[in-house]
Structure 1
Amino acid sequence: MTSTPAAGHWDSDALGVLMAPLTGTQLPEWMGEVLEAGLASVILFGHNTPDPETAAALSRAMHARSADCVVAIDEEGGDVTRLQAATGSSLPTAWALGEVDDPELTRHAGSALGDILAACDIDLDLAPVLDVSTDPANPVIGTRAFSDDPDRVAAHAQAFAAGLIESGLGTCAKHFPGHGATATDSHTALPLIELDREEFTRDHLAPWSIAPWLDAVMTAHVLVPSLGEGPASISSWSRPELDRAVSGTFHGLVITDALDMAAVAGTVGYGEAAVRAIEAGADLLCLGTSIRRDDRHMLREAHDALVAAVADGRLSRESLHARAEGTRAQCRRLRTRRRFVPAPELPAALAHADALGSDAAARAVRGRHAHLDLRPVLVADLRARADHASGARAPQLIQALAEQGVQAVVPDYPGQDAHSHQLTSAPQVLVLTRLSRSDPDEGARLSALLARRPDAIVVHTGVPDAAPDHRRLVLAHGAGRTMMRAAVDLLLRGR
């Protein structure tokens, strides 16, 4: 076994349970050394992957330094994309796939995404989402979920995972035990779900019965007092509840949600959360994104917290070593699968996903009394609340309009001045919403705008139950490139 390292050195047992971020688009030498020292996994974010070609080069560089290191990515398609963050995802949201309700289409979508990831030499996708989006005010799940119905969620998540696996990818269901029944975003605070055990089990734990068919489960930073005390990701109750949900023992990897999120880092602290996660039974600790933090310091802080816990007897060396060895064995299995399933050429994979995504989005988008002509249109984006899961939003609706030859005008202060000359004089008005029923700012701005322009068309990007009660409405089921193109096609052509 590895002894406690001197300051500045790396402990292979601690590294064996860590999924670390890195900054930039190239592999720094220090990270290469950590990979050789035994780091189990690296997670990529949008700032690492400005385009799929760059992502592929970075993944191959990491595998050259450590053949068994698992390269992971949080790539769901739809609004949550890392590989296509600059352009928008080729694929629809999970909610759009659930809306069509064709599991075979969902499987093909998973396979199309898996082909892109395989072509980029990525091993593990942190998908599918098993959350049941029962709270329309939820600011972080929403259309990332397949449905508000647990049976539909289970069917489509299993189909999507099957497609990923066909392409040689590892799968990770998230966010256990369920993040869909809260209006709090765990990126910014610790959510509390006050459902009794019977209701939570029926509506949110039920889809987790499919977990044995997947490679990993991600635990959420959520409080569910009816199940146990403390956040699921760092509390001892979560592992037994997972086994109960799968009617046996879950043998895959248990991965935490990002430990830099405020729900835990802002409560118990970053290093303490790492130790508690191991105590709670996690196999792999996702450290989060380094976009606003030093990547090496993040890894060092979590690593040193684990080493200190061993030194003071809080964690036994034997248990940490066993956890690291078990995690590495599962990582090797994921890498073996990835290497033995042939990957397509990247351009072909992207083209296939574009075609499939376009068809799926067209089948999902709905509208009523919503029609545009080719005159200029004012586009007012009233979505006030940050979407931490998808990151910064590109102007996908404006781009989709431009592709169809429609000039889009963006007001200087959308929705804040309902009497502005721009709003009054525009021949046509489109309004983007996501949480207008639950976000007071978004709701007030929408009311003011519609009082002035009742002829405006609302393009709603959230779940249908969060849509405003407005006569002229498009349900886009997401805000990504594919969904916005389908919405514009419906507006211009009625299909």
Structure 2
Amino acid sequence: MIKILIAMLIAFELFCAELPSKEVLEKQIGQMIVLGFDEAKIDSNSAIVQAIQRYDLGGVILFDRFYDDKAKVKNIESPQQLQVLTSFLKTISPHLIISIDQEGGNVQRLKPSYGFLNTSSAAHMARKSIEEAKTEYAKMASMLKDNGINTNFAPVVDLALNENNTVIYQLNRSYGSDVNSVVSYASLFLEALEEKGIIGVLKHFP
């Protein structure tokens, strides 16, 4: 019995010795977090920069406007401003995920009105030929790369089955109701991103 207790104590001590420090644990958790922030221009004193440095954040997500105030700039004003922003972020953390939602159509953080290339919505893209879609997605992927984006939360692979769906169907965010068509066009989207070294993220999952 004594031998068993001694063995258990030794095992417990070894387990405790292998536990990471608070600092290491914070950075391990930080690597799993993609965080938004409220600035279009940042410097070494910015809260997001300090968070990246302290917690080794896995990534950031960029938006053009505030959700509750569309007139107020959040992260994106123009190509020139965005390139400066993403370049600075990469100097802070070279492997940082710099992500965005750039689907095309109604969901474009990089809007033509800011000086960026327009991309068709999924519903409109599905009416184009494969070659036309491939060309348009290649241009979009190049634009993302040129502006320092390395992860895109797109394409949408939801099926357009419910006409009353105000989030997907009525915003033309789906390629349609046919599974094969959705797979074909979503694949073109992903391939275009991959060719430019950008990670594509299929959505939406419950």
> TM-score when scaled to structure 1?
0.33
Are 1:36 and 2:53 matched, yes or no? yes
How many pairs were matched up? 173
Q: Which runs of 5+ in 1 are unaligned?
A: 177-231, 233-495
Q: Which whole-Å deviations, capped at 9, do the CAs of 1:47-82 have from their partners, x for residues lacking one?
A: 211212211111111000001111001111211111
Q: Quote the Cα distance in structure 1 between the aligned partners of 2:87 and 2:137.
A: 23
Structure-1 residue corresponding to 2:83: 56
Query: Deviation of residue 33 (structure 1)?
Result: 2.3
Q: Which amino acid aligns with 1:97?
A: M
Query: Deviation of residue 85 (structure 1)?
Result: 6.5
Q: Quote the Cα distance in structure 2 between the aligned partners of 1:116 and 1:85.
A: 12
Q: How does 1:137-152 map to 2 (within 5 A)?
A: 137-142=164-169, 143-152=172-181
Q: Which amino acid aligns with 1:27?
A: I
Q: How does 1:225-374 map to 2 (within 5 A)?
A: 232=206
Query: Deviation of residue 92 (structure 1)?
Result: 1.1
After the TM superposition, list the runs of 4 or more consecutive aligned residues in structure 1 that deviate by more than 4 angstroms.
none
Are 1:153 and 2:182 matched, yes or no? yes
Q: Which whole-Å deviations, capped at 9, do the CAs of 1:320-346 have from their partners, x for residues lacking one?
A: xxxxxxxxxxxxxxxxxxxxxxxxxxx
The residue matched to 2:203 in structure 1 has which SS?
strand
Q: Quote the Cα distance in structure 1 between the aligned partners of 2:150 and 2:174.
A: 23
Q: Quote the Cα distance in structure 1 between the aligned partners of 2:137 and 2:20.
A: 40
Structure-1 residue corresponding to 2:162: 135
The residue matched to 1:168 in structure 2 has which SS?
coil
The residue matched to 1:173 in structure 2 has which SS?
coil
Q: Which amino acid aligns with 1:41?
A: G
Structure-1 residue corresponding to 2:147: 120
Aligned counterpart for 1:25 among listed residues 26, 40, 43: 40
Query: Deviation of residue 84 (structure 1)?
Result: 1.5
Q: Which whole-Å deviations, capped at 9, do the CAs of 1:83-105 have from their partners, x for residues lacking one?
A: 226458612111111122x2222
Structure-2 residue corresponding to 1:337: none
Structure-2 residue corresponding to 1:91: 119
Q: Quote the Cα distance in structure 1 between the aligned partners of 2:99 and 2:76.
A: 12
Structure-1 residue corresponding to 2:193: 164
Q: How does 1:416-435 map to 2 (within 5 A)?
A: none
Q: Quote the Cα distance in structure 2 between the aligned partners of 1:169 and 1:86.
A: 24
Q: Which amino acid aligns with 1:43?
A: I
Aligned counterpart for 1:14 among listed residues 29, 45, 53: 29
Q: Quote the Cα distance in structure 2 between the aligned partners of 1:79 and 1:85.
A: 12
Q: Quote the Cα distance in structure 2 between the aligned partners of 1:123 and 1:110.
A: 15
Q: Quote the Cα distance in structure 1 between the aligned partners of 2:60 and 2:40.
A: 13
Are 1:67 and 2:105 matched, yes or no? no
The residue matched to 1:99 in structure 2 has which SS?
coil
Check whether the contact 1:131–1:174 (CA below 8 A) recurs between aligned residues: yes
Q: Quote the Cα distance in structure 1 between the aligned partners of 2:174 and 2:147.
A: 25
Check whether the contact 2:154–2:201 (CA below 8 A) recurs between aligned residues: yes
Q: Quote the Cα distance in structure 2 between the aligned partners of 1:105 and 1:161.
A: 15
Query: Deviation of residue 135 (structure 1)?
Result: 0.5
Q: Which amino acid aligns with 1:140?
A: V
The residue matched to 2:99 in structure 1 has which SS?
strand
| Identity fraction in percent | 23
Check whether the contact 2:102–2:108 (CA below 8 A) recurs between aligned residues: yes
Q: Quote the Cα distance in structure 1 between the aligned partners of 2:100 and 2:140.
A: 12
Q: Quote the Cα distance in structure 2 between the aligned partners of 1:27 and 1:86.
A: 23
1:155 and 1:14, CA in 2 relative to 1: closer, same or farther beyond 3 A? same
Q: How does 1:189-204 map to 2 (within 5 A)?
A: none
Q: Which amino acid aligns with 2:60?
A: V
Q: Which amino acid aligns with 1:152?
A: S
Check whether the contact 2:31–2:58 (CA below 8 A) recurs between aligned residues: yes
Check whether the contact 1:131–1:145 (CA below 8 A) recurs between aligned residues: yes
